[in-house]
Structure 1
Amino acid sequence: MKYNMLLIIFPLVMVGCSFSTSTESLTDEIITPDIEKIEDVGSEMITHHHMYDNMDRGNHDYVDKTLVIDPNESEIFRGDVVFFINEDGEKDLSRVVALPNETIKISNSQIFINDKKLDTFYGKAHRVGLDKDSYFKMMDKEGNDYDKEVMKKVFDYNLKEKKLAENEYYVISDDWLRGNMKVLNRETVIGKVIGYTK
């Protein structure tokens, strides 16, 4: 009798558990990987020549470009590239993936926000614009010398759930190997990158 009860209860528990895991995803229909060229830079804008490749998606995005930053944009959205002061007092930039009061988790380099999969071009690790399989195939086919173990760690990265405070954002550079992955306090943000001049 006890065995029969277990046979009945166990499937019910398993079905109940399956409903607690969200299959919903979070998309971004507005932000694209492209960076806009700004012809007329207003006097209220800030310019910054960015030399680092932390935002490279395979087209040298943001690299060796004079970026235009709007310091007056008070509202920051998911997907925005922000210009900020880092821990060393230097100016840096990265993409916002999680907003204040949200919970972020990363599982095998896939970002989840409040248990929803971040299903957008910046929601998962890549290297020079390529996903894990495409990257390793390309590197091996071309006979490139690279540290495969380091790249496996990038593509298999995990972050335990982290709840952000009301003045915190979570930022990740577009190239996970080369840039930031951290909590960013709103007070350190100088402005939003809106494009480049040259």
Structure 2
Amino acid sequence: MILLMVFLFPACSQPLRDNRTSEAVAKVDVGAGMVVFKHMNDNMERGNKEFSGVGVVIDQGHYKSNPVQRGDIVYYKNPQAAKSNNGLQNNEISRVVALPGESIRIEQGQLYINGKKLDTFYGQAHWGGMDLAQLKKQSSNSEAVKSVIKIIQESDETNKQELKIPDGQYYIIGDNWIRSGDSRHFGPISKDSILGKVKGYN
């Protein structure tokens, strides 16, 4: 039994990767069952103004026959909109990072799923298209960048104790962590609140 545990332990520490999701944002045509959502937030911005102020193409029927997967950008009912007087949109877009039944924790902006480091382009905090390592390289030239690094290392938004995602719910985080209101603030969202999958922009 001891030998078996020693043999299995390294496998448990292997990072979790997503080889299915592309970082590139595609320009797509609007097809049957799709709608265009005018996205005015910068929560998904990765340094190239992705989705900011453009028509985002939503496939409303995608999840009727397909499962929600990690890495998907989903169009969902914003649970904070009804409680806010700040003009939040009723619906919003964000990325799925954890699935029903999984455990998620965040340490200094790095996501861990079931104890495994999420080793993909959206697995760590980003600001202005840069992750923490890239920000540190830029920090000597900018007080603003130093401030962002401090936020990533110390804030409640980028450090979260482990949480198990309930059945039928999903944990979402925007790609631009510092500018995103998401599951770090209002918790996981239900499958019923997901209105479609983002296919790209038009």
Using the size of structure 1 for normalisation, the TM-score is: 0.82
Higher helix share: 2
Instruction: Provide the rounded CA distance (Å) in 2 between the counterparts of 1:27 and 1:21.
Output: 13
Contact 1:126 1:155 in 2 (8 A): no
Runs of 5+ unmatched residues, structure 2: 83-89
Letter of the aligned partner of 2:200 in structure 1? G
Aligned residue number for residue 196 of structure 1: 201
Return the offset for 1:127: 1.0
- Structure 1 runs (4+) deviating above 3 angstroms are 19-22, 147-151
- Which aligned pairs between 1:121-136 and structure 2 lie closer than 5 A? 121-136=121-136
Letter of the aligned partner of 2:192 in structure 1? E
Contact 2:135 2:149 in 1 (8 A): no
With over 3 angstroms needed to count, the CA separation of the structure-2 counterparts of 1:101 and 1:175, relative to structure 1, is: same
Instruction: Provide the rounded CA distance (Å) in 2 between the counterparts of 1:53 and 1:159.
Output: 23
Letter of the aligned partner of 1:160 in structure 2? Q
SS in 1 for 2:124: coil
Instruction: Provide the rounded CA distance (Å) in 2 between the counterparts of 1:136 and 1:180.
Output: 24
Using the size of structure 2 for normalisation, the TM-score is: 0.80
From 17, 28, 42, give the equivalent of 1:27: 17
Higher strand share: 1
Q: How many residues align?
A: 180
Runs of 5+ unmatched residues, structure 1: 1-11
With over 3 angstroms needed to count, the CA separation of the structure-2 counterparts of 1:154 and 1:181, relative to structure 1, is: farther
Instruction: Provide the rounded CA distance (Å) in 2 between the counterparts of 1:55 and 1:45.
Output: 20
Return the offset for 1:190: 0.6
Give me the CA root mean square deviation.
2.3
Instruction: Provide the rounded CA distance (Å) in 2 between the counterparts of 1:68 and 1:20.
Output: 42
Aligned residue number for residue 68 of structure 1: 57
Aligned residues with identical type, % of pairs = 37
SS in 2 for 1:120: coil
User: Which has the larger Rg?
Assistant: 1
Instruction: Provide the rounded CA distance (Å) in 2 between the counterparts of 1:193 and 1:133.
Output: 29
